[in-house]
Amino acid sequence: MDLPEDLDNLREKAWTRQHGRLQNRNGLRDFTQPHPHRPQSHTSSMAEQGGASGGGVSFTSSWGKDLSDSARKRYLESMMQGIMEMGMEGQNSDIDIIVEGQSFPCHKLLLAAGSPYFKSMFSSGMMETHGSRLELPDIEKETFAAFREYIYTGNENITQDNVVELLRAAAIFQVEGLQKSCEQFLGTGMDNDNCLELFKISRTFGCHTLFEQCKPYVLEGFNGLWKTQEFMELEFDEVESIVKDDNLVPVNEEEICEAVLRWVKHDKEKRKSFIGNLFRYIRMIQISPEYLIHELYVDDLLTDDHTCQRYLDEARNFHMLPARQQEYCSSRFQLRNSDDLEEVILIITEFDMEKTAQMYQDGKCLWAFSFQQERWYTIAPMPMDFNPGLEFRMVSFRNDLYLGGGTNHSKNLLHYDNERNEWTLCDASMKRGRCGHVMAAVRESIFMIAGRNPKSRPESSSHVLSTVEAYNIRSRKWESIGEVPTAVHSASSLVMGEKIFIFGGIQQDGTWTSDIQVFDTRKRESSIISQIPSNIPQPLKLVKLGSDYIIVSDCQLYRVNIRKINEEKIKVEIKSLNQTLSKTLRPVLEVANYRGKLAVLTSSTKKPDVYSKMTLVDISQSPMTETAVGISSKNTTIPKPVLSCHKGIIDKQYMYHTYYQ
């Protein structure tokens, strides 16, 4: 939840109603600067004068300083007593403020000193402010009387009956001290029954202190609030600020859907235009397929709105394409902070367990970086018997992971079960062992394409492979389904629809090919469809950000555009983004997608496979922005080698410790 940014508009409207126009618009005072109307320290002023003249009275001694402070205190007390008596009795007043027909004798100087609003008004040169009478509309006389008393005496005559109107006056007239006192008064009586009312007040008048007190009541108590009449009476921007907040704590996301629909239908004709703007903040990632189909798709309020219809279709596609789920990155597919799951960056690293005496000696391990906790966690070590060695590949399927091939056990396929937090070996083995291959998930199958045979000699004709195998996740069986025209290893890839695109790679003779190959998983056909431009060096790192496919090559960024010309022809274009990663991000170890941003893992300059830091790059900005990902001082342990990197989702219950490497 955020405060609205239009508090100045509230004051401007109040002033405009009084005088018809504003010639001098002043915003909120910058409270980091000295108060423009508050007297400066008498001691420091005298010291500066003495220093400038080279003589005069010095207050450097403790006795002199005490004397100065006490004298200053007596002066202020005497002055304030005179102001209070003269002001409250109306002596020597130079303006009468008329409120609801009642005249309040006031002093322009004191009003201007206590209120930046009146200071701007009286110094604006407007004709109305030069007279001896000024009428203030939209304020009650009892409220102005209490406000005037505060200006002249500092007395805070705040009661349960006048606190809201007095807060409104303090906000409009920019009297910071009175406003904070009113906020504190309201905050002391806050509970679940009145938090929505106080939430409205805090947003209306820009009350930061009160707003911060309201947030936990509203966000954490949402389950008991959304069915109340007070929630139904909220304005659109107030409902929006609640449902979009990452810290909202619902029983489930369906409950937020119900709250939004209930609020809109409470005054359907006036509010139905807001439905698209509110549903954009529903976390579709947490909406069950059953609720989506049987509740949301049958609601005319949603299906008649083109924006909502698009959101529903997007959620349907998410559930229908489990192999693509980790590629969704809009806010509708981002988890709230209160969820049991968290979006993380997953990496495979390895242990030097001789130093730690753990059972997984020299094994591999899955680590996760928590952006909420700002630290790395050890998630699931692999038993030694499963150690894939190097040049393995990994893909996601829903929230699970599949890891295949490698230099050690090149025919193995490992499965990471997200719910159980453990690695298991799939029963069936690949027909051909391989490493450095392309691995992709399409529909409900895992595809292994090309690569090299780690057990054959490099000069052997069978060292670099062209074969394609598929593992069906349901049947748990492997099948040989074809070949690609160019045998390669160490290639890059992306998936679009039912097609797997293979970019470049190393050929049998050890040279890099520029071929762009495509394998159609449904037709089981492959072909060479294009070439990588000669000015783009390999190896390439490919990542999908939203609807864009991005290539990172030698810190240069490129966008891949793939268009279907006809049933037989596909056009691939690689265009430079004219964006370069900064030198501090080099050398690039791995890249991944995190909430639509490019997560760049930088390696050590001395050891190319050793992790150094992570940076989030927003390429949607022009120029793009780079934000360093901080590490909590509570645990600065980081993974050493990084052998694979993916965005994933992990249950928070499994993020509780880190093994030292």
User: Which amino acid appears at position 315 of this protein?
Assistant: A
Q: What is the pLDDT of residue 47?
A: 37
Note the pLDDT tens digit of each residue in 570-585: 999 999 999 999 999 9
pLDDT tens sequence across 157-196: 999 999 999 999 999 999 999 999 999 999 998 999 999 9
Could you give the C-alpha distances from 469 to 303, 395, 448, 495, 527, in angstroms and in order?
42, 15, 5, 16, 16
pLDDT tens-digit profile of 258-314?
A: 999 999 999 999 999 999 999 999 999 999 999 999 999 999 999 999 999 999 999
The fold adopted by the segment(s) 7-204 is: Potassium Channel Kv1.1; Chain A (3.30.710)
Q: How far apart are CA 47 and CA 45, in angstroms?
A: 5
Q: Return the pLDDT at 241.
A: 96
Strands (E), 310-444: 341-350, 364-370, 375-381, 393-397, 400-404, 413-417, 422-425, 438-442
Q: How far apart are CA 438 and CA 468, in angstroms?
A: 9
At 74 the pLDDT is 77
Asked if residue 287 lies in contact with residue 317, where contact means CB atoms within 8 angstroms, the answer is: no
Token pair, residue 63, equals 């006795």
Closest C-alpha among 475, 397, 481 to residue 432: 481
Q: What is the C-alpha to C-alpha distance for residues 576 and 292, in angstroms, rounded to an integer? A: 39
7-204 and 236-320 in the same fold: no
pLDDT-derived band at 35 (thresholds 50, 70, 90) equals very low
The fraction of the chain above a pLDDT of 70, given in percent, is 87
Using 50, 70 and 90 to split pLDDT, how confident is the model at 484? very high
The string of pLDDT tens digits covering residues 434-471 is: 999 999 999 999 999 999 999 998 888 889 999 999 99
- Collapsed DSSP state (helix, strand, coil) of residue 58: coil
Confidence of residue 67 (pLDDT cuts 50, 70, 90): low
Cα separation of 261 and 227, whole Å?
11
Closest among 327, 454, 446 to 395, alpha carbons compared:
446
Per-residue pLDDT of 116-141, as tens digits, reads: 999 998 887 765 667 788 999 989 99
- Asked if omega into 137 is within 30° of 0 (cis), the reply is no
Q: What is the pTM of this model?
A: 0.82
Contact between residue 521 and residue 443 where contact means Cβ atoms under 8 Å apart: yes
- In angstroms, the CA 271 to CA 291 distance is 23
pLDDT (0 to 100) of residue 374: 96
Tokens representing 385? 């018997």
Cα distance between residue 1 and residue 652, in whole Å: 24
The two tokens of residue 275 are 């439905």
Query: Where is 86: in which H helix or E strand?
Result: helix 62-89
pLDDT at position 58:
40
User: Among 83-87, 212-216, 227-231, where is mean pLDDT lowest?
Assistant: 83-87
When mean pLDDT is compared across 60-69, 146-155, 495-504, 635-644, the lowest value belongs to 60-69
pLDDT-derived band at 23 (thresholds 50, 70, 90) equals very low
The pLDDT assigned to 10 comes to 60
What is the pLDDT, as a whole number, of residue 12? 59
d(CA 289, CA 318): 10
Closest CA to 2 of 230, 238, 196: 238
Per-residue pLDDT, 355: 47
pLDDT category at 38 given cuts 50, 70, 90 is very low
Domain boundaries, the chain: 7-204, 236-320, 341-654
Q: Which residues of 383-421 are buried (b: 16+ CB within 10 A; e: fewer)?
A: eeebbbbebbbbbbbebbbbbbbbbbbbbbbbbbebeee
- Which architecture characterizes domain 341-654 according to CATH? 6 Propeller (2.120)
**What confidence score (pLDDT) does residue 49 get?**
39
Query: Among 11-15, 132-136, 475-479, 518-522, which stretch is predicted with the lowest mean pLDDT?
Result: 11-15
pLDDT tens column, 193-215 = 999 999 999 999 999 999 999 99
Strands 400-404 and 597-603: unpaired
Nearest by Cα to 87 from 113, 125, 119, 121: 113
pLDDT at residue 609 in the model = 82
Q: Is 92 left (phi over 0), alpha (psi -120 to 50) or beta?
A: left
**Beta-carbon neighbour count of residue 527 at 10 Å?**
14
Which of 14-23, 34-43, 489-498 is predicted least confidently? 34-43
Mean pLDDT of 426-437: 95
Q: Is 240 helix (H, G, I), strand (E, B) or coil?
A: helix
Cα(404)–Cα(535) distance, integer angstroms: 32
- Whether residue 351 is predicted with pLDDT greater than 70 in this model: the reply is no
pLDDT of the residue at 556: 96
What is the domain class of 236-320 according to CATH? mainly alpha
Q: Quote the pLDDT of residue 515.
A: 98
Give the mean model confidence (pLDDT) for residues 475-504: 98
Identify the weakest region by mean pLDDT among 24-28, 145-149, 220-224, 285-289: 24-28
The DSSP bridge partners found for residue 24 are none
> What confidence score (pLDDT) does residue 42 get?
40
pLDDT digits (tens, 9 = 90+) for 313-348: 999 999 999 999 999 999 999 999 999 999 999 999
Tell me the angle at which helices 176-188 and 163-172 cross, rounded to the nearest 10 degrees: 150
Contact criterion met (CB below 8 Å) for 638 and 376: yes
Residue at token pair 């069936």: 428
* Strand 548-553 relative to strand 525-531, pairing: unpaired
pLDDT classification of 25: cutoffs 50, 70, 90: very low
Query: Distances from the Cα of 28 to the Cαs of 32, 79, 175, 227, 315, in angstroms?
Result: 12, 28, 10, 36, 43
Cα 576 to Cα 335: distance, rounded to the nearest angstrom:
32
pLDDT tens digits, residue range 358-403? Answer: 444 557 999 999 999 999 999 999 988 889 999 999 999 999 999 9
Q: How far apart are CA 651 and CA 420, in angstroms?
A: 10
Query: Distance (Å, rounded) from C-alpha 499 to C-alpha 522?
Result: 8
The pLDDT of residue 5 is 62
pLDDT of residue 13: 59
> Which pLDDT score, from 0 to 100, does residue 249 have?
96
Tell me the three-class secondary structure of 612-625, residue by residue.
Answer: EEEEEEECCCCCCE
% of residues, the chain, pLDDT over 90 = 72
Averaged confidence pLDDT in the chain: 88
